[in-house]
A = this chain, B = another copy of it.
Amino acid sequence: MPVPAEFDGLRVVLVDVRNPLNIGAAARAMSNFGFPHLRLVNPYDVAFRNARSAVGAAATLATAEVYKTVAEAVADCSLVVGTTAVGHRDLQHSLVRLEKGAGAIRTHLAAGFCALLFGSEKFGLSKLDMSHCHWLMHIPTRDEHTSMNLGQAVAVCLYELMRDPSAVEKPAKGNPASSVELERMTDTLLNALRASEYPKLNTSKSFHGAVRRLVRRLRLQQGDAVFLLGMLRQMIWKMKKNEDAEG
């Protein structure tokens, strides 16, 4: 998947994060989804660049910038968005669900830089951290369990930023069987049923149509139609052979 150039304008800012594994996990999700710029405010462990869980995230960790304060980390950003788990805190900001907030961030990224802030594992963003934000965003979760793992929260936010609602399905290999091929399949299946002395074949007038519809519902690919035809022909051969032997 090609990465839009404006993703270069997002700064993922982790504030007071304690566990280097979480920094690594955040960096890995950033690498997966194409957001290169990681900033750390006051990380507890300066050895974060070696974070073990960061498979494929080495480049993101190597270029991560470290700041002492939130103010310095967001200085070049014209939009600052804080993430929060919506506990019982009395929020002073307007609070936007991720689905809506991501749209606003994407729009902003076309014009300027945006900082997306995540707080510490235990306490989230402080009131002081939040006072640097234009607004807050939350991931919609069950009311009974709103607190997400940091690496998972970063992954979900970045996914929402890059998801493409107009993405199209990769077609399965090969082409759908044509009507001629489906009709051949229908006939062969009916022949096999005849050979097996399937009872309904002669009693029900609508049976032929029922089999034709059944074959269409299978949505067969050309290759699979050939595959199944071969199986049925083999069975027909065997059934007739047994019959000849009996007769």
Residues of A within 8 A of B (CB): 1-3, 25, 28-29, 31-34, 53, 55-56, 92-100, 139-143, 145-149, 151-152, 155-156, 159-160, 162-165, 167-173
Contacts and interface: CB of A to CB of B under 8 A. Distances in A.
A145 B169 CA distance: 21
17 contacts: A28-B149, A29-B149, A31-B145, A32-B146, A93-B172, A94-B173, A95-B172, A97-B168, A98-B163, A99-B163, A99-B165, A99-B167, A139-B159, A149-B155, A152-B155, A155-B156, A156-B156
A166 to B, nearest CB: 8
How many chain copies does the complex carry?
2
Which applies to chain A's interface (DSSP): helix, strand, loop or mixed? loop
Nearest to A7: B142
A169 B97 contact: yes
Contacts of A93: 172
Contacts of A140: 1, 162-164, 167
Nearest to A35: B142
Given A151-B152, A160-B159, A170-B94, A33 B141 contact: yes
Contacts of A97: 164, 167-170
A167 B160 CA distance: 14
